Structure 1
Amino acid sequence: MTKTPIEADYLVVGAGAAGMAFADQLLTDSEATIAIVDRRHRPGGHWNDAYPFVRLHQPSSYYGVSSRPLGSGGKDSAGFNVGLDELASGAEVVSYFEAVMQQRLLPSGRVRFFPLSEYTSDGCIESRLSGTRRPIAAGKVVDATRFSPNIPATHPPHYAVADGVVCAPINDLPRLARPDASYTVIGAGKTGMDACLWLLQNGAEPERIRWIVPRDSWMFDRANFQTEPGSMVTTLRYIADEVEAIAQAESVEDVFLRLEARGSVLRLDPAVTPRLHHCATVTKGELAALQRIGNVVRLGRVQQIERDRIVLERGDIPTDDATIHIDCSASAIVHPEPCAIFAPGRIVLQQVRLCQPVFSAALIAHVEAAYTSDAEKNAICQVVCMPSDPRGWLQGMAEELPIRLAWAQNPEIGAFTASCRLDAVAPRAARLQASDTAELAELARYQANIEPAIAKLQTLLATA
């Protein structure tokens, strides 16, 4: 059944974090009308399907949408993140996005939300509940789904599991836990880390946990990205160390060894060279807890689980009916081919700053409102690819560092970043005084090394 057409200046497809950040900023910077469509029943994207004990992996203080703070701005008082900026729980994040929709976007009178609906290829919004189809006439379609992550709850494992084997996504872990069980956690990403940490924090002995780690990861130390008064010098030191390490390094591996020596990145085992880098963050407390797990299996990816063994790429390991296998193998990081962000009638949300999708979406919205031509907008908003490995991270830095220089010379963009809550650095850097000598010294070191780092990156990537 077809009903009355819908009209809007922008149709945002996807009410996840990026789509919400874009809509919020566009509402601030323009008089545009916006329709938002999402196949889920409420905003929040993949957070609606996340495991029950998930938490943000970055401080709440610079996540979400720019106009509304997330969390109380306090510190976590317990757990592995104790003493650091609070990390919102998954339930808090979902409630936050619901509040943004109900208390910010919809009351504006310029936003309409179509949950449980799809945007069809013939230009309609189709209800997944009733089947009703309504044509939509939108000035521009904003694709906020391009980097929708894969998560265990919605992506079954890519390996065969024999009948009778207990193998479940991380979402089911609290329900399946029992005193007589042992646990095999499958996957080395942040989800796998969270499964191991949840087990340890809730009393499971390390000896009862086996962790299948196909490839080790480099991880950022979350302590470098705090927002409390006095922490700015630590953040600026990290940023300066980053470009200085690149400028001085002789190889990709040397970059990470230099960063590790400065406390910028961490790894699970000093004897194992990480081959992954997905911008995961941990605390030193989390890392120490993970290092208590002695049974770490590094035989590649799981190929199949049988009643008495797990077949991996480079060997087999035993299993049994008392083992609960927790699947954390879905890759949350997707890598679609980059494309122009701005095109006639279309905007494709992508990262313009490494590993910061919500800030990127807000900046894209601001640029859409502030500039006229797609060529000018694309010159400002150049795609920075999400890394999957150390070389990919350096490739992302090679893409981002020249953009940082260009933004620094653009008063419009400088004013935006200095006022955007989703930027963890620029608003605080804009408030530095002459008396902030330690902070200014790190900023000067960063400025002295950024151009040498850009030059060195070309050599490092060419010889990697």
Structure 2
Amino acid sequence: MTKQATDYLIIGSGAVGLAFADTLLDEAPDVHITIVDRHGKPGGHWNDAYSFVALHQPSSFYGVNSMPLGSNRKDEMGVNKGLYELASGPEVSGYFERVMHQKLLPSGRVSYHPMSDYVGEGRFVSLLSGTVSEVDVRRRVVDASYFATQVPSTRKPRYAVAAGVRVVPPNALPDLWQKPEALPKHFTIVGAGKTAMDVGVWLLKCGARPDSISWVMPRDSWLINRQCVQPGMEFFKEVIGGQADQMEAFAAATSVDDLFARLEGCDQMLRIYPDQQPSMFHYATISKGEVALLRQIRQVVRKGHVQSIDDEGLLLDGGREPMPPGTLYIDCSASAVEQRAPQPVFQDGKMVLQLVRAPQPTFSAALIAYVEAHFENDLQKNQLCMPVPFPVNLAGYLTSTAVSTMNQVNWSQDEALRAWVRNSRLDGFGKLMASADKANAEHQAILGRLRSVARAAMGNVQKLMASASPAAH
């Protein structure tokens, strides 16, 4: 057994753990950090994701605070044309390697242990040698694995699959060319989340006919319009004006369904199929170009979740659905975020990194690190960092918005924290508001509208939360 000492032991070198470590190094120059992770390189689930995955939101909002991601350019073609770049999976993986090897390790204050499993009580085990290491943690153990992000390639489907049926994760799709004699004539996407949407877009862009694709969609989703989350001043009307539109929708809504109808009416929310009423919202962000492409898929199966797949087709909650012989099933049913009950971020000798602003996990981790470095006691720290519950349904969006807004109000009361948020690379929207031209009548009118309706909006959110049924939260 080897022994070592550290101030903070971080479990996980994914986006959240690295964002926390990066800010803590900058804000607490006397600390030492040890990072333990099962993967062989930093980046967490990005190491396991399908090769054509990309960020949902602009690169400028993601990663660690001290190192830019991307070149702040706009896409000139494709479904994201005219909007700021979205880093691809390989770009993100390379970025996190640079964070580790160009920022964290060169500091001399970070120890990194890949291919190691944390087993508790300050001990971790090398997956390759079995060597047990014991760490004397002087301050806190930091759980950066709370989100438990899953990708299909790392888990088996929850439904039964008969022998001979081809079920693959999205990772396998780019390799289909290697066996041209076995190329499928029909594709069935299993799952309704952003991974499934990515697969649908990829298949269509790569030449699959829309009528050769079936899509098993247990629930339709409301989706954030990506045009409304852009970092440039040229999008001030869409972004800050869009936030004012959102507040007006919150203030006027009479029910959860009415709220989303109003958000769709002011172009903040999108749905793929206009004739379907969505019942899910997970903060997935999409462009109108992607929506238009996905609407070409008309063979949509809405019979609940898959129970089993055999050579004749699918057995679902709502009955059987036949599929053509030789169908290739693409499993997209893994949950991006495991549903877990929120708990205090700051605990005795421990921290549990969670969302403090939805849906921004890396900004949240960076802000938590700032609070850890600059505030005195856990009571005050937890008041500033109330965990934002991830919505499991439409009503959950109300709670997420209410807690995010309360956190933002609390941050604004501290001058230094307020300045850190405004200057953070991961914030973005605060910069847009601070950069508003005082001589620009349109900008000032938008800011005035946002300020005037914010209180009424949050008041009505509380009423809507109270009126929603317990099962809806």
Question: Contact 2:395–2:465 (CA<8 Å) still a contact in 1?
Answer: yes
Q: Distance in 1 between matches of 2:245 and 2:33?
A: 42
Secondary structure of 2:153's aligned partner:
coil
Counterpart residue number, 2:194? 190
Provide Cα deviations, 1:406-436, integer angstroms capped at 9, x if missing partner: 2222212211111100002112322333123
The equivalences for 1:238-249 within 5 A come to 238-249=242-253
Provide Cα deviations, 1:135-167, integer angstroms capped at 9, x if missing partner: 101121110000021210111111000000011
Question: Contact 1:46–1:148 (CA<8 Å) still a contact in 2?
Answer: no
1:203 correspondence with 2:207? yes
1:122 correspondence with 2:121? yes
Which range moved further: 254-263 or 230-239?
230-239
| Post-superposition offset of 1:320 | 3.8
Counterpart residue number, 1:349? 353
Counterpart residue number, 2:24? 26
Provide Cα deviations, 1:213-272, integer angstroms capped at 9, x if missing partner: 100000011011112231123210111111110110100000000000000000112221
Question: Contact 1:278–1:333 (CA<8 Å) still a contact in 2?
Answer: no
Q: Distance in 1 between matches of 2:113 and 2:406?
A: 39
Secondary structure of 1:7's aligned partner:
strand
Q: Distance in 1 between matches of 2:196 and 2:264?
A: 22
1:219 correspondence with 2:218? no
Q: Distance in 2 between matches of 1:428 and 1:237?
A: 11
Unaligned runs of 5+ in 2: 469-473
Provide Cα deviations, 1:105-154, integer angstroms capped at 9, x if missing partner: 00011111111112222321211111111110112111000002121011
Q: Distance in 1 between matches of 2:184 and 2:355?
A: 45
Structure 2 residue aligned with 1:288, among 289, 292, 314? 292
| Post-superposition offset of 1:354 | 1.1
Q: Distance in 2 between matches of 1:119 and 1:235?
A: 42
Which range moved further: 418-427 or 174-183?
174-183
1:340 correspondence with 2:339? no
The equivalences for 1:176-187 within 5 A come to 176=176, 180-187=184-191
Question: Contact 1:166–1:321 (CA<8 Å) still a contact in 2?
Answer: no
1:402 correspondence with 2:400? no
Which range moved further: 274-283 or 437-446?
437-446
The equivalences for 1:62-101 within 5 A come to 62-101=61-100
Provide Cα deviations, 1:303-331, integer angstroms capped at 9, x if missing partner: 10011121111121112432100000111
Secondary structure of 1:75's aligned partner:
coil
| Post-superposition offset of 1:440 | 2.5
Q: Distance in 2 between matches of 1:400 and 1:161?
A: 41
Letter in 1 for 2:307: Q
| Post-superposition offset of 1:46 | 0.2
Question: Contact 1:402–1:454 (CA<8 Å) still a contact in 2?
Answer: no
Q: Distance in 1 between matches of 2:14 and 2:317?
A: 35
Question: Contact 1:183–1:325 (CA<8 Å) still a contact in 2?
Answer: yes
Which range moved further: 447-456 or 35-44?
447-456
Question: Contact 2:233–2:432 (CA<8 Å) still a contact in 1?
Answer: no
Secondary structure of 1:126's aligned partner:
strand
Q: Distance in 2 between matches of 1:435 and 1:118?
A: 57
Which range moved further: 323-332 or 227-236?
227-236
Question: Contact 2:186–2:324 (CA<8 Å) still a contact in 1?
Answer: no
Structure 2 residue aligned with 1:433, among 427, 430, 437? 437
Q: Distance in 1 between matches of 2:162 and 2:133?
A: 45
Counterpart residue number, 1:14? 12
Letter in 2 for 1:153: S
1:454 correspondence with 2:453? no
Q: Distance in 1 between matches of 2:166 and 2:6?
A: 49
Counterpart residue number, 1:422? 426
Counterpart residue number, 2:35? 36
Unaligned runs of 5+ in 1: none
1:56 correspondence with 2:60? no
Q: Distance in 1 between matches of 2:184 and 2:18?
A: 44
Counterpart residue number, 2:167? 167
Secondary structure of 2:395's aligned partner:
helix
Secondary structure of 1:336's aligned partner:
coil
Q: Distance in 1 between matches of 2:184 and 2:216?
A: 20
Structure 2 residue aligned with 1:367, among 368, 371, 377? 371
Counterpart residue number, 2:471? none
Provide Cα deviations, 1:322-368, integer angstroms capped at 9, x if missing partner: 21000001111212111110112111100000111100000000000
Which range moved further: 367-376 or 173-182?
173-182
Secondary structure of 2:278's aligned partner:
coil
Q: Distance in 2 between matches of 1:52 and 1:94?
A: 11
| Post-superposition offset of 1:439 | 2.4
Question: Contact 2:184–2:327 (CA<8 Å) still a contact in 1?
Answer: no
Question: Contact 1:401–1:450 (CA<8 Å) still a contact in 2?
Answer: no
Percent of pairs with identical residues = 45
Q: Distance in 1 between matches of 2:391 and 2:440?
A: 34
| Post-superposition offset of 1:23 | 0.2
Q: Distance in 1 between matches of 2:410 and 2:444?
A: 21
Q: Distance in 1 between matches of 2:369 and 2:444?
A: 31
Letter in 1 for 2:293: A
Question: Contact 1:268–1:291 (CA<8 Å) still a contact in 2?
Answer: yes
- TM superposition score normalised by structure 1: 0.97
Question: Contact 2:5–2:135 (CA<8 Å) still a contact in 1?
Answer: yes
Counterpart residue number, 2:134? 135
Q: Distance in 2 between matches of 1:56 and 1:359?
A: 15
Q: Distance in 2 between matches of 1:90 and 1:180?
A: 26
Letter in 1 for 2:389: C
Q: Distance in 2 between matches of 1:220 and 1:457?
A: 19
Question: Contact 1:277–1:388 (CA<8 Å) still a contact in 2?
Answer: yes
| Post-superposition offset of 1:180 | 5.0
Secondary structure of 1:316's aligned partner:
strand
Q: Distance in 1 between matches of 2:4 and 2:324?
A: 57
Q: Distance in 1 between matches of 2:136 and 2:236?
A: 46
Structure 1 runs (4+) deviating above 6 angstroms are none
Q: Distance in 2 between matches of 1:105 and 1:121?
A: 24
Secondary structure of 1:197's aligned partner:
helix
Question: Contact 1:12–1:35 (CA<8 Å) still a contact in 2?
Answer: yes
| Post-superposition offset of 1:280 | 0.5
| Post-superposition offset of 1:378 | 0.6
